[in-house]
Amino acid sequence: MDGCHLKGRLQYPLASLYSIVRTRRKLPGLYDMANKIDLAGRNAVVTGGAQGIGRAITERFLDSGAAVAIWDRDVKFAEKTAREFGNRGKVAAIACDVTNLADVERARDDSLKAFGRIDILVNNAGIAGKNATTWDYPAEEWRQVMRVNLDGPFHCCRTLAPGMIAQNYGRIVNIASVAGKEGNPNASAYSVSKAGVIALTKSLGKELAAYDIAVNAITPAAAKTAIFDQMTTEHINFMLSKIPRARFVKIEEIAALAAWCASADNSFTTGAVFDISGGRATY
C-alpha cells in the first residue's frame, strides 16, 4: 500500500473565486495561509469521509462552502465526524458499504433527499490489505482489497454519473496512489487495485468529456493515517525511503489538491492523474 486511506471506511457560481484565509494548521515550509477554493453551493459525496484523508477532504470542502455527505460503512463514526463539523456547514452522515451496489444506490437516494442534487464525488474509501509476496497472498484478502478499492469506486461512479450527466455538471475525484503507478513489493493487491482506479479514471473521463464533468485521479505517497495500522513497520519505512521530500504527505495537502480538482476552475482537464508523491513518481 502506498497511500492513503482509513481502514475499511468504508449552486452554480459562474466562476470559481479565490480568497485568502488563515488555516488552523501550519504545514512545514508553508506560510500560515492557504488559498480557499470556492465550492459554495456545491453538494459533495466523500466516501470514507469520517477520518484520515476523507476527513481532511470533508473539512476542506466545508470550509470552501460545499455541503458534504459522508458515506461510511461505520455510520456511528461518520455521525461523530458530522457532529464535530456541524458548525462549519451542512454535513450529513450516510451509511454506505461501497462494495455493495444496492447499498450505494440507497446512499445516493438518501443524499439526494438531504441535498437535492450531487455535484461532486470523491472516491476515497480504501483498505491497504495484507503485506505479503504475491505467491503467498491470501486469495480472499486479494478479493476484499479489490472489492473495496476498485469495485467501490466503480459502484459509486456508475450510480452517480447519470445524475451528473442530466444536470450537465459534475466533478469526480478518485483517490488512487503512487503504488498504482509504480507497484510496491509485498503489496500487490493494493498496487493493482490503485492501478485499476487510474484506468477507471481515464476511461470514465473520456466517456464524460462531452459534458461539463471532470474525472481525475490523485496519486499520493503515503500519509500517516489509520491505514498505517494495517502495515508492517518494514513496509512503512520502505515507503518513506522512496520519497525525495523525506517525509510523508500531509492529509491537508491531499485535501487542497482534491478541492481544486472538485472546483469549477478545473474546467478542462479530465482523465488526468495528479501526482502528490513528494517527487517519488517518475511519470
Instruction: Say yes or no to pLDDT of 4 above 60.
Output: no
What's the confidence (pLDDT) of residue 3? 42
User: 168: exposed, middle or buried (C-beta count within 10 Å: 0-12, 13-18, 19+)?
Assistant: exposed
- Residue 280: pLDDT band (50, 70, 90) is confident
3-class DSSP state for residue 174? strand
Instruction: Please give the Cα distance from 246 to 172 (Å, whole number).
Output: 30
Q: Is 11 domain-assigned?
A: no
Residues of the chain with pLDDT > 70: what percent?
Answer: 86
Helices (H), the chain: 52-63, 75-84, 101-115, 139-146, 152-167, 179-182, 188-207, 233-241, 251-261
Q: Is 6 domain-assigned?
A: no
Q: Which domain holds residue 161?
A: 18-276
pTM, whole model, 2 decimals?
Answer: 0.86
What's the confidence (pLDDT) of residue 237? 82
What's 263's domain CATH number? 3.40.50.720
pLDDT in tens, 109-167: 999 999 999 999 999 999 999 999 999 999 999 999 999 999 999 999 999 999 999 99
Count how many domains the chain has. Answer: 1
Catalytic residues: 190
pLDDT in tens, 21-57: 334 444 444 434 467 799 999 999 999 999 999 999 9
Q: Is 10 domain-assigned?
A: no
Instruction: Please give the Cα distance from 97 to 219 (Å, whole number).
Output: 23
Q: Are 124 and 224 in contact (CB under 8 A)?
A: no
Instruction: Please give the Cα distance from 140 to 239 (Å, whole number).
Output: 25
What's the confidence (pLDDT) of residue 143? 98
Q: Is 256 domain-assigned?
A: yes
What mean pLDDT do residues 54-78 have?
97
